A and B are shown apart, each in its own frame.
Chain A
Amino acid sequence: MNTIKKNFAELLRYPSAAFGMVIVVILLGISVYTMFAIPYDEAVRLWRGGESVWYQNPRQAPPAWFNVFSAKKLPVSFAMSSASNQSARTVTTDAQGSSEIVDTYTFDFQYDEFPQELALYFTAKFGAKQPFTAITWLTPDGRTINVTTMSLRADQAYRFAQDEKFKRLMKGKEPVEALFSDPNAAEPTPLKGTYQLVITTSTFEKDSTVDTELVLHGQLYGWAGTDHLRRDLGIALLWGTPIALAFGLLAALGTTLTSMIISAFGVWFGGWVDEAIQRVTELNLVLPFLPILIMIGTFYSRSIWLMLGATILLNIFGGAIKTYRAVFMQVKESPYIEAARSYGASDARIIFQYLTPRIIPMLVPQLVTLIPTYVFIEASLAVLGLGDPILPTWGKVINDAQANGAPYQGLYYWVLEPAVLLMITGLAFALLGFALDRVFNPRLRGV
């Protein structure tokens, strides 16, 4: 316990280690938060749910914080609904049970570009008589535009951009542009200020009600942006964290420790044990690792857990075991081992106390650099289109971005967000490990 404390204190003396540790802790925090805040099923639903989940999001929109760095402010997407009381609602009911529901949405628009799209969603409850609605648009400079009137079905969507009638009314101008543009400007520029959308719905039955929702698809969305299917990249970035960490940690620990112990046993006992290990290692070396993983992914299953298992299995008897063996072979011939043998130390004692410690200085940097390596193996498979079919991972986001030509469309955020996260994760573990190397390797400390 004391030595751990001492080592920990020693570790904190390296700024890079402290930095790496902070990032690792943050990543762990994000992982825990993600798994509680967005449970697995919810994440899968949000990532693979379909248009009904993503309708509020614009397509291929960069994150909202882009505005901080650009002089030209791009509209940020938002959604407001009467169900969550984001509209001012007045209801007047007459004696026959008919009522007039007025939803007024008020929002501030201070951007230099037009939004992608504006849409209204109605959920109406009625028996036989359809409610009737009128949509009015109030601009900051006091103009009133009567957009349209229509009767409502139980589920009704109204997209301004697709209303040809309204487009004709606006003399052929694009509807969204017409609603937001400054009438006095020569070039179409958006008018800044507070807009109001008034939805007046008449219902003709006693229990008939209407819920409305206003969705503005801006040019930007959320903190992470969206992809080609309107999916919020934030989900993938958040859920990618626990997946990457779990994959990297499990694979690195599983392979390194197992192969170290196996190779030490082999060298120490020699004979058929060593022989068997050597044969399995050679058999494994003959099998090309990445191509085998690609084959497993293409032919069998792309499940991330199968990939993890295959990665560990193929790497236990990997090239490292041969390197360890080369070192152990030399160490085994050392006089101090002979001394230990002559005073009657047990096999286990020699293996764990005298043989393996000699390799720890080599092993620690290896283990730590292996974590990011395995994180990147998962990403590599995903980039080849062999990512887990269900879970959202960083690699899959890069793959989607590449497949949809993000770099050539200038949608750099789409590639860079997951790539930077991968890089940060890799760096954090590497920084931590390199410092650990110096702490756990007293021979290096003094040099």
Chain B
Amino acid sequence: MAAVAQAPDMNANVQVKKKNSSAVWRIVRYALIRLLTLFITVVAGVFLTVMIANMGGYVDRIRMGDIQESVAMGLRGNPAYNALSAEERQKRLDAEIAIQAEAQGLNRPFMVRTFEFMQNAMTLNLGRALKMTSDSGSRQVQAIILERLPPTLLLFGSSNLLLFFAELFVALYLSRRYGSWLDKVFVTLAPVSTAPAWFFGIFLILIFAASLRILPFDGMVDAPVPNNLWDYSLSLLRHMVLPVMAVALNSIFLNIYSWRTFFLIYSSEDYVEMAKAKGLTSQDVERNYVLRPTLPTIITSLALMLIGIWTGYPILETVFNWPGLGRAFYQAIQFFDTPVIVGQTVIFAYLLAITVFLLDFVYALVDPRVRVSQ
């Protein structure tokens, strides 16, 4: 009896093992394919950006024109050059232009340079900027980006993280108290958040800087820069007040409203009603029956929000003269400074690809209903 009974049991065990190993293989294979496709995506994205940022080669002509003009201007002021005959002057001019063009690599075909450039960019060898310099005087794109990163992280990283969790918390609270006066206040105020951050920035500058004169117009610290840490931080905080307020006004009401609506939809699911009927505490219901199924969406939003900081707030940073990544990007476009544009895009692309890759696994972890398809 026992032996007979054991046989199918063992059989089942083997089957489970087989299933497990095939699942691992499937996940590994899935991950590899995913990595490959994401890499191709990044390459394609960077290629598109390189093409757009060069206008398919048109920027080269602009740069060539710049060189011609600056060389001609430079030589015209030189008395020794003016003493030469017309023919020799032209020769000198052409030679100078050729040297400058070679220095910028403009003498080689556009597509060849594009692919070299791509290769360098993909290996994060970002090269030198054409016009922009970091405050320390370096032309290295890496140095420029690393210099602009801390201000952006400080301002938008901290405020966005703080806002994100505050918004979730308030939204959850409101979804429990649907229809209360506080809920109504946020519902009423939600439309206010449709305006972008810079829009609030302009108003805040008008009110607090231009008219009341209690906060600085723009910048990151006072000039002269305070030399002790305490004064420096204080000045930094004073300069952060208005941009943070602008970011908050832009996001807080609408996000709270959206999250609250989202949670409300999920709290009206039958299984939530069931859990309530079972007599679970509202905290348990919230954690296990509302938050759990909404977790993929929450995590996606958080991840995309964090990556979004990288492309930053070009207009808000311009309005507040904040020396961050967004403004660097805008300045790079104004200067036709392709290496800086591409450098920032490459890093953005990599960050995004990694996040997207990880998100798939996070989904599977937090939501058992999501499966890796065969």
Contacts and interface: CB of A to CB of B under 8 A. Distances in A.
B329 A285 contact: no
B361 to A, nearest CB: 14
Interface stretch (A28-36, A76-84, A141-149, A365-373): A365-373
B134 interface: no
Nearest to A423: B195
Interface stretch (B37-45, B111-119, B145-153): B37-45
Given A286-B348, A294-B314, A380 B196 contact: yes
B318 A384 contact: yes
A88 interface: no
B346 to A, nearest CB: 9
Interface in B242-270: 254, 257-258, 261-262, 264-265, 267-268
B283 interface: no
Nearest to A384: B315
B333 interface: yes
B23 to A, nearest CB: 18
B2 to A, nearest CB: 40
Name the residue in A287, A408, A429, A447 with the highest tally of chain B Cβ atoms < 10 Å from its Cβ: A287
B32 interface: no
Interface in A294-321: 294-296, 298-300, 319
Interface stretch (B122-130, B162-170, B296-304): B296-304
Interface range for A: 35 or more
Given A285-B356, A291-B314, A323 B300 contact: yes
B202 A398 contact: yes
Contacts of B348: 286, 288
A398 to B, nearest CB: 7
Contacts of A372: 194-195
B37 A299 contact: no
Interface residues of B, number: 69
B178 interface: yes
A299 B318 contact: no
B293 to A, nearest CB: 7
B52 A292 contact: yes
Contact of B41 (A282, A322, A373, A434): A282
B261 A437 contact: yes
Given A330-B367, A373-B194, A279 B37 contact: yes
Interface string B264-307: 11011000000000000000000000000100110011001000
A203 B341 CA distance: 69
A94 B293 CA distance: 99
Contacts of A120: none
A25 B177 CA distance: 34
A287 to B, nearest CB: 6
A392 to B, nearest CB: 19
A45 B203 CA distance: 32
A261 to B, nearest CB: 20
Nearest to B53: A295
B49 interface: yes
Interface in A411-447: 412, 415, 419, 422-423, 426-427, 429-431, 434, 437, 441, 443-444, 446-447
A407 B205 contact: yes
9 contacts: A286-B46, A291-B341, A292-B49, A299-B52, A362-B265, A419-B203, A422-B199, A430-B194, A444-B268
